[in-house]
């Protein structure tokens, strides 16, 4: 009190007393001094600053009193975290408690005390813990916190921790290389690529071509690893810590945790019970009441949650390999959901789908996963109810997506064996035969439901469309399955074919309607080719933004007894041509934006996946209907008007890679295209400038990267946002560039809504 009083009189505040007190408190706690009793005694000083203070009778200033209360409260909260940290550090093994309390203390020094040196010290303590636990991705994110504080400048830095005396540029370079190495070890190569580009830009600005060459080769190796190496898909778990016996940073809070490799719910729950041996596992998923919150015990509530990816564009884009999509499904995730089915009203015993509702809980985190920790606290909880009809739509949509993925993997030889496709086909067809889809018809397609729910007209149409689409996908999937199924599984395949025809009969499908048969990739000349540029825009019934998807090659009308040999021949042609003919490969327009060469970016035998509504929809403009079959022919078989559309027509797309003043051929007298076509910037160019692309934001923890992350310029201070523009080498200044601090921009990277305005067509 006397020190605070003197400092207040001398300088008008007691910031110096506060700083010395906090530093000494951290030092004493690290030496093992102090306990919970001391914290309670220290906290009891606060009542002395009440309306009738005993120690401050002579002090009448309100500001003095408020400042004193704030200081005591801050030091008390710091002491709580330091005590938790000291208790956790006594443990021999590195577990979630050690990492969690270190993260809590680190954030406290940054947000509430603004003590930069202590903040940096605990950054490196957390970094060491992650390395010991082999959490290499989390270690990289942790070191990025320190990297953010530095700039590309020649300012000299003193010796600190394990760093020698060096310039700020040299220390930031060392941090970048260390972080890239850890991202590589953690198989988070997309994040390492962005750091490689930032460092390469610095080398280029100094004309340090030797290191620039090494950095480009490192970047190339990361791309190779993305395409060649397999990454496991992690599980995510929601954990609630309830009761007063938990440490302060966990008490009565809920978190979402990223599981270890191969870790499932049972293994994760056992690991948490081992870390908290006195905890009681709750067997329900309902929110606990105040009795549990205030209990003098430990309660754990654990259940699995599903990540909600932020980058839907990459996931819904055709032609993107599955190992690239997998990264965006499970990285940079802010939101998770948990579904609990229940019956509302009277349960129909004959058809449970009529009353089957879903209670959907959406959890939003304070930071995205992965990050500086394997778990983050839940910031917001939202609860909605999904109607039976909406639930049916989601179930069929997800199953159709799963079928398309398995069929594509099988065709592209990514699948080691055909068993996953066999099990999926068997599960869908068997369920449909035993009343799966028919139950939906009985529940939602009857007159009573339609009359009582007129607002669900669009949703009923969407459900019917998805059911037809599923039948279409199943028919094509059986054709693919027939080509690759081993001999000992032929009887099962025949059973699936027979059951499929029963399923079609139960749905009232004798043959597919016109809009299914008129698929953009339905080949009438008997020579199927995978058309990469026949993509239609699907408009969802609820009026949402259309998603460009590709439909499967339609299987021409088969007999009711078995799938005809024509289906097998079509599948054989698709895969056989891609293996034997380089000419066919090179003539396929590629949608890939992640390669510098469009004719080597992806395998040509990519299966299409548009819903039936997109294939020859009656609402399609009449002027486009004539080109549906032409787009599926090779360039040599198509009329010139189909290869070179009119750039003045907004409904058509001009080839983006016309070079200079290339003159278009005028073999078609009806061709309306001009003689000259202005060059369009290529979407895959590393040096093209993207206008209108999303900018970097300051939201900590957000990082969403496209398959080919654009190279941003590095100018300004670390407090400014970075824009995702990519100037060419000739536009760069040879002078040294001051880069933006990478931490916030690295995780604030927003995927542009569209990477390409048009597709690349290469003619041989």
The CA distance from 107 to 111, in Å, is 6
CATH of domain 399-614: 1.20.58.740
Q: Tens digit of pLDDT for each residue in 677-707?
A: 444 443 333 333 333 333 333 433 434 444 4
DSSP assignment string, 387-415: -HHHHHHHHHHHHHHHHHHHHHHHHTT--
pLDDT over 70, % of the chain? 59
pTM for this predicted structure:
0.64
Please answer whether residues 576 and 556 qualify as being in contact, where contact means their C-beta atoms are separated by less than 8 angstroms. Answer: no
Residue 64 has a pLDDT of 63
Residue 186 has a pLDDT of 95
Residue 1 has a pLDDT of 59
Quickly tell me which residue has 């007691």 as its tokens: 14
Cis peptide before 370 (omega within 30 of 0): yes
More confident residue, 592 or 367: 367
Model confidence at 36, pLDDT cuts 50, 70, 90, reads: low
Residue 127 has a pLDDT of 96
Using only C-alpha atoms, what is the Rg of the chain?
Answer: 31
The CA distance from 126 to 382, in Å, is 32
Please answer whether residues 740 and 716 qualify as being in contact, where contact means their C-beta atoms are separated by less than 8 angstroms. Answer: yes
Q: Tens digit of pLDDT for each residue in 287-314?
A: 899 999 999 999 999 999 999 998 778 8
- Residues forming beta bridges with residue 386, ordered by sequence position: 358
Question: Among 424, 426, 431, 427, which residue's Cα sits nearest to residue 402?
Answer: 424
Residue 369 has a pLDDT of 94
Q: How far is CA 671 from CA 642, 646, 647, 664, 763, in A?
A: 10, 8, 11, 10, 18
Model confidence at 113, pLDDT cuts 50, 70, 90, reads: confident
Class of domain 2-226: mainly alpha
Of 25-29, 242-246, 328-332, 430-434, which range is least confident? Answer: 430-434
Mean pLDDT of 203-207: 96
Residue 80 has a pLDDT of 80
Q: How many CB atoms neighbour CB 668 within 10 A?
A: 15
The CA distance from 372 to 747, in Å, is 11
The secondary element (H helix, E strand) that includes residue 364 is strand 356-369
Give 128: exposed, middle or buried? Use CB within 10 Å, 0-12, 13-18, 19+.
middle
What's the gap between Cα 123 and its chain centre?
Answer: 26
Q: How far is CA 558 from CA 567, 735, 740, in A?
A: 8, 68, 61
DSSP assignment string, 455-520: GGHHHHHHHHHHHHHHHHHHHHHHHHHHHH--GGGHHHHHHHHHHHHHHHHHHT-SS--HHHHT-T
Per domain, the residue ranges of the chain are 2-226, 230-386, 399-614
Q: Is 281 helix (H, G, I), strand (E, B) or coil?
A: strand
For helices 62-89 and 96-108, angle between their N-to-C axes, nearest 10 degrees: 160
Answer whether residue 269 shows pLDDT above 50.
yes
Answer whether residue 10 shows pLDDT above 70.
yes
The residues, ordered by sequence, that sit 6+ positions from 538 with a Cβ below 8 Å of its Cβ are 546, 547, 548, 549, 610, 611, 613, 614
Tell me which long-range contacts 18-22 makes (C-beta under 8 A, separation of at least 24).
18/71, 18/74, 18/75, 19/115, 21/75, 22/75, 22/78, 22/113, 22/115, 22/118
The 3-class SS string of 336-352 reads EEEEEEEECCCCCCCCH
Answer whether residue 423 shows pLDDT above 80.
yes
Mean pLDDT of 445-465: 90
């Amino acid at each position: 009190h006397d020190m605070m009083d003197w400092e207040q009189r001398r300088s008008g505040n007691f910031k110096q007393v506060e700083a010395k007190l906090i530093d000494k408190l951290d030092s004493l706690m690290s030496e093992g001094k102090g306990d919970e009793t001391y914290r309670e005694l220290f906290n009891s000083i606060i009542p002395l600053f009440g309306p009738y203070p005993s120690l401050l009778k002579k002090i009448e200033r309100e500001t003095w009193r408020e400042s004193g209360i704030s200081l005591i409260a801050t030091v008390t909260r710091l002491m709580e975290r330091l005590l938790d940290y000291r208790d956790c550090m006594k443990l021999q093994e590195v577990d979630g408690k050690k990492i969690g309390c270190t993260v809590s203390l680190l954030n406290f020094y940054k947000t509430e005390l603004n003590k930069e040196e202590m903040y940096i010290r605990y950054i490196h303590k957390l970094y060491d813990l992650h390395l010991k636990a082999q959490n290499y991705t989390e270690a990289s994110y942790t070191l990025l916190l320190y990297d953010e504080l530095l700039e590309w400048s020649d300012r000299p830095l003193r010796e600190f921790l394990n760093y020698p005396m060096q310039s700020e540029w040299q220390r930031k370079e060392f941090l970048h290389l260390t972080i890239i190495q850890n991202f590589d070890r953690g198989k988070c190569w997309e994040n390492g690529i962005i750091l490689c580009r930032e460092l390469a830009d610095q080398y280029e600005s100094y004309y340090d071509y030797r290191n620039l060459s090494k950095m480009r080769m490192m970047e190339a190796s990361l791309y190779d690893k993305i395409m060649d190496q397999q990454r496991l898909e992690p599980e995510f778990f929601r954990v609630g810590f309830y009761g007063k016996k938990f440490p302060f940073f966990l008490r009565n809070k809920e978190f979402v945790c990223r599981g270890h490799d191969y870790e499932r719910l049972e293994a994760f729950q056992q690991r948490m019970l081992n870390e908290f041996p006195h905890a009681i596992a709750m067997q329900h998923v309902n929110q606990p009441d105040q009795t549990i919150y205030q209990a003098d015990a430990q309660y754990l509530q654990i259940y699995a949650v599903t990540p909600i990816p932020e980058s839907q564009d990459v996931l819904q884009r055709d032609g993107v390999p599955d190992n690239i999509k997998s990264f965006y499904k499970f990285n940079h995730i802010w939101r998770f959901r948990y579904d609990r089915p229940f019956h509302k009203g009277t349960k129909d015993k004959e058809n449970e789908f009529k009353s089957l509702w879903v209670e959907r809980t959406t959890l939003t985190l304070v930071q995205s996963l992965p990050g500086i920790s394997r778990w983050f606290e839940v910031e917001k909880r939202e609860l909605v109810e999904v109607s039976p009809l909406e639930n049916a739509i989601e179930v069929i949509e997800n199953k159709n997506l799963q079928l398309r993925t398995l069929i594509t993997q099988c065709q592209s030889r990514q699948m080691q064996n055909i068993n996953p496709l066999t099990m999926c086909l068997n599960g869908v067809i068997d369920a449909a035969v035993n009343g799966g889809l028919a139950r939906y018809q009985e529940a939602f397609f009857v007159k009573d439901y339609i009359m009582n729910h007129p607002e669900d007209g669009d949703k009923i149409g969407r459900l019917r469309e998805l059911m037809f689409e599923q039948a279409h996908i199943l028919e094509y999937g059986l054709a693919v399955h027939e080509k690759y199924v081993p001999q000992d599984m032929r009887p099962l395949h025949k059973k699936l074919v027979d059951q499929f025809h029963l399923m079609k009969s139960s749905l009232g499908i004798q043959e597919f309607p016109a809009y299914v048969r008129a698929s953009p990739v339905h080949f009438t000349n008997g020579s199927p080719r995978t058309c990469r540029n026949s993509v239609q825009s699907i408009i969802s019934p609820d009026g949402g933004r259309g998603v460009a998807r590709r439909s499967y090659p339609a299987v021409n009308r088969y007999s009711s007894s078995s799938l005809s040999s024509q289906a097998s021949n079509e599948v054989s042609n698709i895969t056989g041509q891609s293996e034997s003919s380089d000419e066919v490969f090179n003539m396929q327009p590629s949608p890939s934006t992640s390669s510098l060469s469009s004719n080597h970016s992806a395998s040509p035998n990519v299966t299409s996946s548009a819903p039936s509504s997109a294939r020859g929809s009656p609402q399609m403009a009449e002027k486009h209907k004539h080109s549906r079959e032409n787009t599926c022919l090779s360039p040599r078989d198509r009329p010139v008007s189909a290869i070179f559309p009119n750039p003045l027509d907004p409904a058509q797309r001009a080839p983006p890679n016309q070079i200079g003043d290339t003159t278009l051929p005028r073999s078609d007298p009806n061709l309306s295209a001009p003689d000259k076509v202005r060059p369009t910037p290529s979407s895959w160019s590393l040096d093209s400038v993207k206008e209108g692309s999303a900018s970097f934001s300051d939201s900590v923890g957000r990082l969403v990267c496209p398959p080919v992350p654009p190279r941003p310029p590095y100018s300004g201070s670390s407090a400014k946002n970075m824009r995702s523009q990519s100037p060419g080498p000739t536009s760069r200044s040879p002078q040294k560039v001051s880069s933006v601090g990478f931490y916030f921009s690295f995780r604030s990277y927003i995927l542009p809504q569209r990477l390409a305005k048009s597709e690349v067509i290469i003619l041989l």
